[in-house]
Chains A and B, each alone.
Chain A
């Protein structure tokens, strides 16, 4: 059962809600379409979503008192740093956070994520790690252009670059040499020959519940919908289902978005997202992802 401490009890008193009413904390820093949809889905199920603004939250990490009333916390911070640090502190205080710190840590860093996929034998594009300008350029040359370079921490395709030749590689890598040191961790990946789209599947618990194709927008090579990519429903084939579940399991994900590409020899998983967005997926597929997340949270309480 979800915890029913003071906040929830006072809410029951005010609203007259039944004793069976369950609740969870939704930890956020910005309310996007997704968070609002999750709150709406919770209301429909008579589940209380207690909104907790991470910007207003301070956690005494030495105290034995749990920082939040609810046992279960749905982590929805858009900021990766807020996400991992708050998750770590809340887990240490005894909260169940979805997704876990272990999952957030791995998914929030592309290299760590790739290492887990490889370790669990999930097919993934060839990826090379270099840590200085010269070795990065040598790696790109050896891999053969075009090559993709991505920041190990970052999202929405931000600062991911397609290096079409040595000149482009030198220009981009030289720029990065003058940026914060994290950008000098060069995560180089083969540019997979694929249709102008990738696949985003959604795993909740142990089920692949939805999938979309994400088509590149205009002349853009990146398929991120945040970059103007277009979403279309994608059929969940047995291969897609199996790989999505294996990828989610590899990173310890409970509610995740899995990014895949259609390579010449089959699907490849290139990333798993631990604070997945679905505002384009719900209308494209008709799948009630917010409702399924609430159902999953309820099932977690019952375990």
Chain B
């Protein structure tokens, strides 16, 4: 899978789950893993940045 920002290869961990955040090692951009309809594969979408209402 390729980074949406810099096109570098992005490795998906073998134990990855839907919604997990991963970062591109080349440019540092963070992405959220989105499970595609077919089930086993993920696509990437830009991860949300911390908002003022984030927390515990």
Contact = CB atoms under 8 A, between A and B. Distances in A.
Contact of B55 (A28, A31, A35, A80): A80
B47 interface: yes
Given A30-B32, A30-B48, A257 B56 contact: yes
B56 A277 contact: yes
Interface of B is mostly: loop
A153 interface: yes
Nearest to B35: A51
A297 B35 CA distance: 25
Q: What is the interface residue range for chain B against chain A? A: 10 to 19
Nearest to B55: A155
Contacts of A158: 52, 55
Nearest to A180: B52
Contacts of A273: 55-56
A39 B17 contact: yes
A78 B55 contact: yes
A127 B2 CA distance: 51
Contacts of B51: 79
B13 to A, nearest CB: 10
A79 B53 contact: yes
A154 interface: yes
A175 B53 CA distance: 19
Given A30-B32, A79-B51, A155 B20 contact: no
Contacts of A257: 56
B17 A80 contact: no
Interface in A147-170: 153-156, 158
B10 interface: no
Contacts of B21: 30-31
B18 interface: yes
Interface in B8-33: 17-21, 32
Contacts of A3: none
A79 B18 contact: no
Nearest to B45: A55
Contact of B53 (A28, A35, A153): A153
Interface of B: 17-21, 32, 47-48, 51-56
Interface of A: 28-31, 35-36, 39, 51, 53, 78-81, 153-156, 158, 257, 273-277
30 contacts: A29-B48, A30-B19, A30-B47, A30-B48, A31-B17, A35-B19, A36-B20, A51-B19, A53-B19, A78-B54, A78-B55, A79-B54, A80-B53, A81-B53, A153-B53, A154-B52, A154-B55, A155-B54, A155-B55, A155-B56, A156-B54, A156-B55, A158-B55, A257-B56, A273-B56, A274-B56, A275-B55, A275-B56, A276-B56, A277-B56
